[in-house]
Copies of this chain bind each other. A is one copy, B any other.
Amino acid sequence: MELAEARLKFIETWGKLGSEWGINRTMAQVHALLLISPEALTTEDVMGTLSISRGNANMTLRDLINWGLVEKQHKAGERKEYFFADKDAWNIARQVARERKKRELDPMMKVLSELSQVRGDDKDANYKTFKTSVTDISKLAANVNKTLDTMIKAEENWFWGSIFKLFK
């Protein structure tokens, strides 16, 4: 397979994965493009390579910056903005974990803990099942939360090291 073809396939695959996990496909594709670009790219580069509009490119790049996956760069003597992605897979994984925890897990745990406060009659099967399911899921969420916190704080060698050994 030629490099050019492989690059397109990588962009397509990363985009598909993103869309399966609730991330805008174009955003994942722009990220993929930046991941395989040795130099920072301009908005026009992104527009051209992926055939997307200026507005879309602009908003997508901003989202990627908000996700902490991409940063703006300025080149001396130039007015144009350049965009560059962190290429470190472990950093990317941690950053995605951090954002999704903040955006989704934390709010959900808040709701679950409210819901687990609900009072009722222990002889009511509906109440008992509700209570048990919510409490159980709460506990699981708390464990996931703790694991993510550890992952987020961890050094690069944590994943490649201790977990790897634990599960070999």
Contact = CB atoms under 8 A, between A and B. Distances in A.
Residue of A89, A90, A111, A132 with most partner-chain B CB within 10 A: A89
A7 B163 CA distance: 38
11 contacts: A3-B124, A3-B127, A6-B115, A7-B130, A13-B108, A13-B115, A21-B22, A36-B126, A37-B129, A90-B140, A166-B166
Contacts of A77: none
Interface in A21-51: 21-22, 35-39
Interface string A133-144: 110110110010
Interface of A: 1-3, 6-7, 9-10, 13, 17, 19-22, 35-39, 87-90, 93, 103-104, 108, 111-112, 114-115, 117-118, 120, 124-130, 132-134, 136-137, 139-140, 143, 146-147, 149-150, 159-160, 162-164, 166-168
